[in-house]
Amino acid sequence: MNSFLKILSWFAIAAGIVLVVVGITFLFIPKYQRMCGLESRCRHLREQVENKQHEIQSIRVKQGRLLTDAEFVARIAHENRRVFPGELVFVSENK
């Protein structure tokens, strides 16, 4: 009888350890999945921020060209249908 209780106690200890491991696993799997989702979203948002920063930089370069490059102003005026072909574009310089 003593050996039966010994085997039963080892079986109970093993079952308890298995239950603890399974419980911890089920506790941390959703948190791990959420963490992976948040990292993916963070990467995506950082890419969007970088794209917007590049876009802002190109707009600032174009703004600078509007102040200094008369041919660029004429081309933009033609592209935006402010000036039609054959018309003259006058660029005034305020200094």
Contact 89, 83 (CB under 8 A): yes
Q: What per-residue confidence (pLDDT) applies to 90? A: 67
Residue 89, SS3 per DSSP: coil
Q: What's the domain range around 63? A: 2-79
* Residue 95 covered by a domain: no
Q: Average pLDDT for residues 1-6, to the nearest whole number? A: 80
pLDDT digits (tens, 9 = 90+) for 10-39: 999 999 999 999 999 999 999 999 999 999
Q: How far apart are CA 83 and CA 9, in angstroms?
A: 93
Domain count, the chain: 1
pLDDT band at 89 (very low <50, low <70, confident <90, very high): low
* Residue 63 covered by a domain: yes
* Residue 84 covered by a domain: no
Q: What per-residue confidence (pLDDT) applies to 91? A: 63
- Whole-structure pTM value: 0.54
